[in-house]
Amino acid sequence: MHKQNSIIFGTILILVGVLFLFVQFFPGLAASLDLSQQWPLVIVTVGVLLILSAVWGTPTLAIPGSIVAGIGGLLYVQNQTNAWESWSYAWALIPGFVGIGLIIAGALGHKRRSSWREGGRLLFISAVLFLVFGAFFSGLGAIDRYWPLLLIGLGLWQLLPRRPKNVASEE
């Protein structure tokens, strides 16, 4: 674990050093980067590095990595569009980021079946919450009028018969 932390920290230092070196040799680059608008990319980069460390041997790091990268992506979009009020419903995407992390961890071999199932469930719930709250707080087109159909669909899904869980089949 200590070796992986050294790799992640070293990679971050190298990337930041390369960026500052380019700025030293190409002063016009600093003006075109406009770090006041690009700062969320630092958060996305940290998330991506966590996901890469999951690939390098610690699959469970995919979960915090996807959360950090996802929130960084949200912040980037909000910073570019100045749509900070979208936090009133964008928070609903965070369980979906957890679901993506679970699916990645499952693909890397950590509790495969339960990770895929739970990750998919979180993605579904997150999408429904995002659409419903988005319709309430900002009006998302046709969803604004037909959002009750989402509730009806969710209710029908809950009524579907469930297969019995087979604990022995977990990997």
Residue range 152-168, pLDDT digits in tens: 877 787 787 765 555 55
Taking 50 as the threshold, does the pLDDT of residue 20 lie above it? yes
Other C-beta atoms lying within 10 Å of the C-beta of residue 145: 10
Query: Is 91 inside a domain boundary?
Result: yes
Query: Is 136 inside a domain boundary?
Result: yes
Query: Is 147 inside a domain boundary?
Result: yes
List pLDDT tens digits, range 36-61: 777 888 899 889 888 888 888 788 88
DSSP 98-159: HHHHHHHHHHTTSSHHHHHHHHHHHHHHHHHHHHHHHHHHT--TTHHHHHHHHHHHHHHHHH
Query: Is 167 inside a domain boundary?
Result: no
Report, as an integer, the average pLDDT of 50-77. 90
- Full-model pTM: 0.69
What pLDDT is recorded for position 143? 58
Q: What domain range is 62 assigned to?
A: 2-13+21-160
Query: Is 166 inside a domain boundary?
Result: no
Structural domains counted in the chain: 1
List pLDDT tens digits, range 86-99: 888 899 999 999 99
Query: Is 114 inside a domain boundary?
Result: yes
